[in-house]
């Protein structure tokens, strides 16, 4: 199955490592450092032009992880994933 992150971006739910709320996680120095490093390495994909509310960490196979910054909040993303049978 796939998870719709907003705009026209859909990702396979099997590649999702985690869905995180930006308001609750970016207070941590380690999270900010991780997101900064991912952006420097070109691993961040912005979904939409609005203020991001969540980030989704994904990895397929042995590829480098990808971070999607989405304007959709975590509760909505989790509800969509659960409706698709993702646990």
- CA 84 from chain centre, in angstroms, equals 17
- pLDDT of 86 > 80? The answer is no
> What pLDDT score was predicted for residue 87?
63
Residues in contact with 54: Cβ distance below 8 Å, sequence separation at least 6, in sequence order:
19, 20, 21, 22, 69, 70, 72, 73, 74, 77
Q: What value does the mean pLDDT take over residues 11-26?
A: 92
pLDDT tens for each residue of 52-73 = 999 999 998 888 899 999 999 9
> What pLDDT score was predicted for residue 18?
94
- Say if residues 38 and 67 touch (Cβ distance below 8 Å): yes
pTM score of the predicted model:
0.90
């Amino acid at each position: 199955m796939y998870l719709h992150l907003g705009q026209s971006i859909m990702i396979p739910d099997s590649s999702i490592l985690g869905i995180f709320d930006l308001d609750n996680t970016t207070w941590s120095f380690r999270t900010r450092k991780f997101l900064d490093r991912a952006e420097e390495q070109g691993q961040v994909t912005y979904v939409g032009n609005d203020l991001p509310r969540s980030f989704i960490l994904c990895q397929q196979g042995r590829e480098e992880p990808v971070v999607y910054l989405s304007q959709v909040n975590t509760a909505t993303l989790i509800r969509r994933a659960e409706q698709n049978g993702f646990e």
